[in-house]
Amino acid sequence: MFTGIIQETGKIRRIEQKGSGKHIIIECRNLQSDMEPGASVACNGICLTVTDLDKNSIRVEAMEETISRTTLSGWQVGDFLNLERSVRAGGNLDGHIVQGHVDSVSAVLRIEQLGTSKILKIAIPDGYEKFIVDKGSVALNGVSLTVTSLTSESFSVSLVNYTIEHTNLKDLKPGSKVNIEFDVIGKYIARYIDNQKNKLTEERLREEGF
């Protein structure tokens, strides 16, 4: 589990094709402190396993399914990634519950400068409208953010100056692709409601006195 609070941005040093998967070597400074192979790291919001590390970098492995469902397919040497270690028991939950399981990839529609802040407008992927609410939580490239406005086709988030300076969201442009993970609590609620609707039959209504 993660929180969406980015601890470091790391630079891709090398990408190695391994069958249908990939190994990515990422330069980082502090993230690997007290880390061992097998640890989970969120890279641009994608939960990946560390297979090796040294004082200057970590190596993570991605399978074909992950590559096809996220922005990882377009990563290139030199790209900067948002990095977060998994939460330790007793750690602070400063953002929101983030699993590192990307729901969909979407595009930045518009970026508006507002003083020292930025407003990002993001397209809602088809079929995911029910998982997002105004003032709810969403993770973009692994960053925990609050939805500031919402339409049937898009939502907006506000980036404060700290987030701009300490994540790779500052590099986004209109048309840029981002990994989206919707709030897991909202997804469970939506699933429950759908299941209840499916059980609403004429016989059930009569039993309830309708």
Per-residue pLDDT tens digits for 142-151 = 999 999 999 9
- CA-wise closest residue to 148 among 126, 122, 170, 168: 122
Q: Are residues 53 and 121 in the same domain?
A: no
Q: Name the pairing type of β-strands 46-53 and 104-114.
A: unpaired
Q: Are residues 116 and 81 in the same domain?
A: no
Per-residue pLDDT tens digits for 105-115 = 999 999 999 98
CB-count burial class (<10 Å; 0-12, 13-18, 19+) for 50? buried
Q: Are residues 176 and 148 in the same domain?
A: yes
Looking up residue 61, the CATH number of its domain turns out to be 2.40.30.20
Q: Are residues 119 and 162 in the same domain?
A: yes
Per-residue pLDDT tens digits for 61-92 = 999 999 999 999 999 999 999 999 998 766 66
* Structural domain harbouring 191: 104-195
Q: Are residues 187 and 122 in the same domain?
A: yes
Torsional sign, CA 156, 157, 160, 164: negative
Give every residue of the chain whose pLDDT is below 50, as ranges.
Answer: none
The count of structural domains within the chain is 2
